[in-house]
Structure 1
């Protein structure tokens, strides 16, 4: 058997090494995650499917858990990207007492700046929708009285309009919730105008208003609750910015965005298209109609492509 010269042996060994490690050196897939709730499932599927469609390799870790779980996971590098809410950055960075969290642009800028400095995490463009604590009313009440904003609702209440509001004890008692709304907009709900329900589940308050239970025609909700459209309830716009802003936005580890810069151009127009009514409708298809989140996301992405 012929003996190869030493330099040829080295070249052959190097070639074998390249074949062995080459695939492992390829860019890792983007680990896409989301929170465990309905909106997390819908937004997560939009991210996952749109990146995959754009040719970016992905790994599915959707509906991983509550906020603290996904937050710790992205900080530890266990996941690469998930949808977060601008207002949550106030708590992540111990700045919940600052007024700028009530302004959409300032809240986004602060969230992006704080997370970039502290954890090298990048916030991409947020949705217009604001999933914050809200006061909602029955659709028929809104239509019959032209109620669009909390100023409209305050005028209706102060003029003696019949109103009874379902809420959790936390919402009624927390200085940042109902008391803050009442002070800012100049109205007051007496004890007989309140139906206080145990727990903080908006499904119960939504149901009470929709069924006109005990004459309830208003409810504590979140801005993008899936049951709002299905139950014909309308969010009163918080024009004075009483509540912090919670706009959903994709957040991604900076090194992953550097590897796959196309992530930004793929995701930003999708989130830009998500206004309040759109996200309410999409959440409702899952939460109320029982449609799978992946199908709801697919249909919505297809509709954007058609447009």
Structure 2
């Protein structure tokens, strides 16, 4: 009799495990072009592997996706390592930690373990605040980093940058650059555009509007290459590093351990110029994020 009972229990447990494994994997995502592309890469990769997948890559902003994954409403979505600064406020992550790619990734991964979330491999890109300048200015004055720019400005070089009020007023944006690299902009060197987006500021720099020859930007903006602008490097880590990585519910990963290798390969293939180009195909050419993601994955042999 005990043996029959054990057999029934084992069958029930096996059935439950099989049912959990067969549950569709829900892929979430944010709304901007880059997040849409990365979300589609995750979705298409899992679908191509024969897994049952539900596409919710247009779910909402960071807060919406965060609540959804904690509640088990979605299983995986692309998140940025730098967001650990406010996802885990009690950790009190400092600027030095946030500016180091390995450190901020390690902290994000460690701090989310207790939440049942696993951070997979991040892409070798940094979607963070940067200073962009026209290629001609960079070439003529040998500007490749903010350190080079500081020497140029302190040496009397002509400089005027366009940006939003947030870009100039938040302590972790332009003031952080000034503090880390030892320069201070005068009011006349700032063109503050209320409500401006990075592409609008970059357009001003590309066209020399009102004497502007620099603009706020994100490191992976697709408009930079199209407008012949250069994103200056931040060797001192004045800004937090925002590397995109798939984050997945640990229970989902345990049920489908092959996902880690698949998504790690995808994100390992992405570098800064590549992501800028892909972003531009959506933002400037009007292509769908799914088409762009599919074409890229196929070009890398990552889709059948």
Same fold (TM over 0.5): yes
Cα distance between partner residues in 2 of 1:25 and 1:47: 20
- Please state whether the residue corresponding to 2:172 is helix, strand or coil: coil
The size of the alignment, in residue pairs, is: 287
Correspondence for 1:61 among 44, 56, 59: 56
Deviates more, 1:167-176 or 1:275-284: 167-176
Aligned to 1:163: 159
- 2:14 paired with 1:33: no
Query: Aligned-pair distance for 1:38?
Result: 0.7
The answer on whether the counterparts of 1:205 and 1:219 sit within 8 Å (CA) in structure 2 is yes
Query: Aligned-pair distance for 1:199?
Result: 2.1
Query: Aligned-pair distance for 1:21?
Result: 9.7
Using structure 1 for the length normalisation, give the TM-score: 0.89
Structure 1 residues 201 and 96: alpha-carbon distance in aligned structure 2, compared to 1, 3 A threshold: farther
Deviates more, 1:95-104 or 1:132-141: 95-104
Deviates more, 1:96-105 or 1:61-70: 96-105
Correspondence for 2:282 among 283, 286, 306: 286
| 1:48-87 equivalent positions in 2, closer than 5 A | 48-87=43-82
- C-alpha distance after superposition, 1:155-198 (max 9, x if no partner): 12122221110011122122222122112112221111110011
Deviates more, 1:142-151 or 1:129-138: 142-151
Aligned to 1:190: 186
Correspondence for 2:87 among 75, 92, 96: 92
- C-alpha distance after superposition, 1:75-94 (max 9, x if no partner): 00000000000011121110
- 2:113 paired with 1:116: yes
Query: Aligned-pair distance for 1:256?
Result: 0.3
Cα distance between partner residues in 2 of 1:36 and 1:22: 34
Structure 1 residues 178 and 107: alpha-carbon distance in aligned structure 2, compared to 1, 3 A threshold: same
Cα distance between partner residues in 2 of 1:191 and 1:64: 40
The answer on whether the counterparts of 1:27 and 1:259 sit within 8 Å (CA) in structure 2 is no
The answer on whether the counterparts of 2:21 and 2:255 sit within 8 Å (CA) in structure 1 is no
- Please state whether the residue corresponding to 1:114 is helix, strand or coil: helix
The answer on whether the counterparts of 2:146 and 2:233 sit within 8 Å (CA) in structure 1 is yes
Runs of 4+ in 1 over 6 A off after TM superposition: 20-23
Structure 1 residues 96 and 38: alpha-carbon distance in aligned structure 2, compared to 1, 3 A threshold: farther
Structure 1 residues 31 and 21: alpha-carbon distance in aligned structure 2, compared to 1, 3 A threshold: same
- 2:212 paired with 1:204: no
- Please state whether the residue corresponding to 1:305 is helix, strand or coil: coil
Query: Aligned-pair distance for 1:274?
Result: 1.6
**Structure 2: segments with no counterpart, 5+ residues:** 1-11
- Please state whether the residue corresponding to 2:28 is helix, strand or coil: strand
| 1:158-307 equivalent positions in 2, closer than 5 A | 158-199=154-195, 201-305=197-301
Structure 1 residues 71 and 26: alpha-carbon distance in aligned structure 2, compared to 1, 3 A threshold: closer
- Please state whether the residue corresponding to 1:128 is helix, strand or coil: coil
Cα distance between partner residues in 2 of 1:96 and 1:209: 36
Please provide the CA RMSD for this pair. 1.9
